[in-house]
Amino acid sequence: MKRGSNMNKKGITKIQALIVAIVIIVAAVAGGYYYYYTTTIPKPKPTIVIAVWGGAWQKGIVDGLEGFEEAYNCKVEYFIQSDSMETINKEIAEKEHPTIDVIMTGPGNTLRGMAGGVVEPVDPSLVPNLEDIISACKLVIEGKVYFVGNYFNYMGIAIRSDRIDASKVTSWKWLWSEDLYPKKLGMPTPEYFAPVEQTSLTWYGDVYHVDEAFEKLKELAPNIGLAYVDDALASEALAAGEINALMCYNVVATKLIKEGAPVKFIIPPGEKFFNYYNGPMVVKNGPAGKDLQMKMVNWLISPEAQIKNAKEIWSNPTNVKVTIPPDLAPYLLTTEQMAQAALLDAEFQAAHTDEWQERWATEIKPLLG
Amino acid sequence: MSSISIKFLRRIGRLGFTPYILCAPAIIILVFFFLFPAVMLLSVSFFKYLPPGTAIGKMYEPTFTLENYMRFFKSAYLDGYLWPTIKVMVTSTIIALILSYPVAYSIARSPPRKRKILTAITIAALLVGPVVRVYSWLVILSRDGIINNFISLLGFNKIEFLGTDLGVIIGTTQFLLAFLIFSLSGSIQNINPSYEDAARSLGANEIYTFIKITLPLSLPGISSAVLLGLTLSATMFETPMVLGQGIVEMLANLVFTEISFLNFPFASVASVMLLAITLTISYGVNYLLQAKIKVR
Amino acid sequence: MEGKISVYKICKIVVISLKLLTVGLLLMPPIVVATSSFNPTAFAPFPPRGLSLRWFETFFGDSGLISGIRNSIFFAVLSTALSLAIGILASFAIARYNFKGKNLLDALILSPIVLPEVAFGNALLVYFYYLKYYNHTIILLLGQTIIALPYVFRVILPSFYGISRSFEEAAMTLGANEIQTFLRITLPLIKPGLIAGIVLGFATAFNNFSVSVFLVVTSTQTLPVHLMGRMRIFLDPTIAAASTFVCLTMVSALIITEKLVGIDKLITGIRWR
């Protein structure tokens, strides 16, 4: 026999119950709509998803794709990525059911994507602009073009012009000088790109003198104050004055210069420098279908799209039919400088990068700090 | 209607099933969506890595090999990743604990107005977001940053924070503070203040009360906070990446690096190592403090 | 006598300076972030050189960032609620009962923190594709819940230890059944732990990057993932503006809620028969 409970005297009032019920119903309906909308309703028009880096890189692609949606009656969605390898990694896991169609990336990552089985070769019959692209910016394996670049990155030395006399920087070998001792230099790690190749190029003329390059890097160790993978970290470290010089891509420096920082970007004249190129990689079995994917690649490598992109990110176009507008020219490489660019051996790089990273971790990193 | 469900619950209670039913959601979600993926991860650490170009479509060979572990146990990885991780974990947790206890105590015991202000400050610190937070530390701790400017104004030599253990520890400790403050204040608040009042009225001063009454009673809270601190600091990667400047790195950075090479086997080894040291240190702490905590 | 007073005073000074140091450390990043979001240029954001709303303009104009915030809030709220529900039940069981496998369960609930998020996110992604399950909303929700659960649990558990069983026993003697006791006695008593759990769980889920980056698709892209992508090459104060905005909004929301409703009332507001 249950005794009457003192607790039951104040029950829940009708109004309170009504409010709670309304809140729960509204939340459930809202939640249900959100769930339904984001997961099951098919998109009205064919949609194509392209993974881009954010900020100016996104704007460059968005500008370049102006008119694409109308021309092919589709919707373009942008997936913002930080490291394209993460996106490729994601697509490898999603192999059976990819969610992204085109990924902006580079040749090295494309090779890794190929190892993961997610890369669709560029089809020349659907991408006529392909033949106008300089051969240095096409990744060709066994006759098939697996990757094509729509812009060309190049490396140089960014310095704090308020601390370093720019006239002293006449050669890449300057990085080894006492001006940067101690720990005033920022270098990318092999995980990102280039320290091994550039060192090998500078001291031995080609990228294949790996062992000797590592000896030289050991000599460089006392100067190294930053070993970076992320451009944001590099530019911030230079801006904060933590380092006085930086081996980096042109874009890192140009952005800082535009914001009024006392930074100069120097490509030592007459010496070979490392280059890289970025472009749209096509994902196998992408949801938009091969036809639309190839159309997007064709559009992005066209001269018009390349100029619009170059205006945002100050990188050289790869299409020979492009005429560079005069206001953009000062930010890009001249033809003489283009000739200094070392031809990228993407396969060599991709096959050895993690071995170089291992050597960096075991031979160079212990010498830092 | 509710009396029927009460009867049903009581019957379950008598059978001793209650705790299992209460824990069922946790068990289900963790076993199926954490344990299984984690075991998958563990098994990958024994697979053989295939560099790109070796085989199209395959990144690792599902055989059993110890080569990834052998690779890890080289001094470069032990000194370069394992040891800094342990150092940073333990140091930042201890320092963060010492720093956060007074504020946590204030939040627990102060009058509402002061408590709300302190809580708001702590929440604000938490909501800044990990990336922006660590870059703001870069700006503060750099050679031209405000701290070094202040130090050189006082006439001392500038201190090198970035690229050293010190910078990473400072950044990690600050990250832990907000979490530890919340963890501690929650449990301190549950200590009945009348114990402290009683001790005080019997003639003990504040220090004695604290050491003999408050501290022992807050041990479960401290133990939780320590475990929280250790585990949070173990898996951080933005802080060591930015403040360590590539010179001081932790195991989580290694995991990221190796995943970007698609070297899942070696990345798994690094994850397993991280798991191992976190578990070891956590169990050590738990064991030491466990004796003093009872089910009340 | 003299000796005792100065030791006491020294302790007091030490404690106060520790508190000041802690508050200072807590506030440094938000202050730097807030001031740099008003800085006219992107270079040398601190100390600030002037006042400009330029970055806020960019922030509000970036639809990706806005939808990122919306998604982050949606997922963080849901996963915090879910992990709270699971965590309260589990910590109640562990604190109040002695049962076989108790310690094992305790370790299990703790374990997600111990696994590096990047490895977990990757593993989870592969796992769901292996299961051929493609509902990305649920996948992201599960990922964030599992990440938040250990924090919620670790903060609520000591609260349960802290309250005496006699409160519950008294209530039951007076005629309340188990459910009533739980809702009207136990839960309100662990309020501080609950609030701490809510805040920590929400902060963890909202700010989570390493797991979310693997699990998001365009429609569910959360703020941290979008931010990392945006600042890939250059750290532009738009991020600082976004962060300041989010931080201020949340803190104001909390203050307003506190003033209007009182956080206390939120938890004990509903009474049951």
Determine contact: B72 vs chain A, CB below 8 A.
Answer: no
Q: Which domains, from first to last, does chain B contain?
A: 72-290 (1.10.3720.10)
Task: Quote the pLDDT of residue B136.
Answer: 87
Tell me if domain A47-151+277-333 and domain A153-275+347-367 are identical in fold: yes
pLDDT tens for residues C82-106? Answer: 999 999 888 888 888 888 778 888 8
Looking at the DSSP assignment, which residues form a beta bridge with residue A186? Answer: A226, A246
Per-domain boundaries in chain A: 47-151+277-333, 153-275+347-367
Determine contact: A89 vs chain B, CB below 8 A.
Answer: yes
Smallest CA–CA distance, residue B84 to chain C, in Å, is 16
Of A116-125, A217-226, B218-227, C26-35, give the lowest mean pLDDT range. B218-227
Smallest CA–CA distance, residue B58 to chain A, in Å, is 6
Cβ contact, residue pair A236, B143, below 8 Å = no
pLDDT tens for residues A26-80? Answer: 777 777 666 666 555 555 678 999 999 877 788 899 999 999 999 998 999 998 8
**Residue B293 clears pLDDT 70, i.e. is over it:** no
Residue type, A321: K
Cβ contact, residue pair A2, B143, below 8 Å = no
Mean local confidence (pLDDT), A258-276:
86
> Among A110, A242, A281, A363, which would you mutate to test the B interface (most chain B Cβ atoms within 10 Å of its Cβ)?
A242
Task: Quote the pLDDT of residue C265.
Answer: 41
Task: Quote the pLDDT of residue C261.
Answer: 55
HEC per residue, chain B: CHHHHHHHHHHHHHHCCHHHHHHHHHHHHHHHHHHHHHHHHHHHCCCEECCCCCCCCCCEECCCCCHHHHHHCCHHHHHHHHHHHHHHHHHHHHHHHHHHHHHHHHHHHCCHHHHHHHHHHHHHHHHCCHHHHHHHHHHHHCCCCHHHHHHHHCCCCCCCCCCCHHHHHHHHHHHHHHHHHHHHHHHHCCCCHHHHHHHHHCCCCHHHHHHHHHHHHCHHHHHHHHHHHHHHHHCCCHHHHHHHCCCCCCHHHHHHHHHHCCCHHHHHHHHHHHHHHHHHHHHHHHHHHHCCCCCC
pLDDT tens for residues B97-135? Answer: 999 999 988 888 888 788 878 888 888 888 887 878 888
Specify the higher pLDDT residue, B73 or A94: B73
A80 contacts in chain B (CB < 8 Å): none
CATH of domain C66-232: 1.10.3720.10
C236 contacts in chain A (CB < 8 Å): 55
Q: Which residue has the tokens 């819940």?
A: C145
**Residue A4 clears pLDDT 60, i.e. is over it:** no
Q: Which CATH number fits domain A47-151+277-333: 3.40.190.10, 3.40.462.40, 1.20.1260.10, 3.90.1170.50?
A: 3.40.190.10
Cβ contact, residue pair A240, B248, below 8 Å = no
- Chain C, 30-69: which have a CB under 8 Å from a chain B CB? 30, 32-33, 36, 45-47
Cβ contact, residue pair B20, C99, below 8 Å = yes
C-alpha B23, offset from chain centre: 24
Q: Which residue has the tokens 């040398």?
A: C44
Determine contact: B204 vs chain A, CB below 8 A.
Answer: no
Please provide the average confidence, as pLDDT, over all residues in chain B.
83
**Residue B174 clears pLDDT 90, i.e. is over it:** yes
Gap between the terminal Cα atoms of chain C? 60
Please give the model's pTM, rounded to 2 decimal places: 0.81
Specify the higher pLDDT residue, A330 or B178: B178
Mean local confidence (pLDDT), A282-291:
91
pLDDT tens for residues B252-283? Answer: 888 888 887 878 888 888 888 888 888 888 77
Determine contact: C273 vs chain B, CB below 8 A.
Answer: yes
**Residue C268 clears pLDDT 60, i.e. is over it:** no
| CATH architecture for segment(s) A153-275+347-367 | 3-Layer(aba) Sandwich (3.40)
Specify the higher pLDDT residue, B96 or B12: B96
**Phi, psi of A287, rounded to the nearest 5 degrees:** -60, -25
Task: Quote the pLDDT of residue A8.
Answer: 38
pLDDT tens for residues A103-130? Answer: 999 998 898 888 888 999 999 999 999 9
Mean local confidence (pLDDT), B44-58:
73
pLDDT tens for residues A344-354? Answer: 888 888 888 88
Determine contact: B261 vs chain A, CB below 8 A.
Answer: yes
pLDDT tens for residues C124-156? Answer: 887 887 787 878 888 999 999 999 998 888 778
Smallest CA–CA distance, residue B71 to chain C, in Å, is 19
pLDDT tens for residues B5-24? Answer: 677 777 777 777 777 888 88
Query: In the A/C pair of chains, how many CB contacts fall below 8 A?
Result: 136
**Residue B164 clears pLDDT 70, i.e. is over it:** yes
Residue type, B211: I
Closest CA to B180 of C154, C157, C94: C154
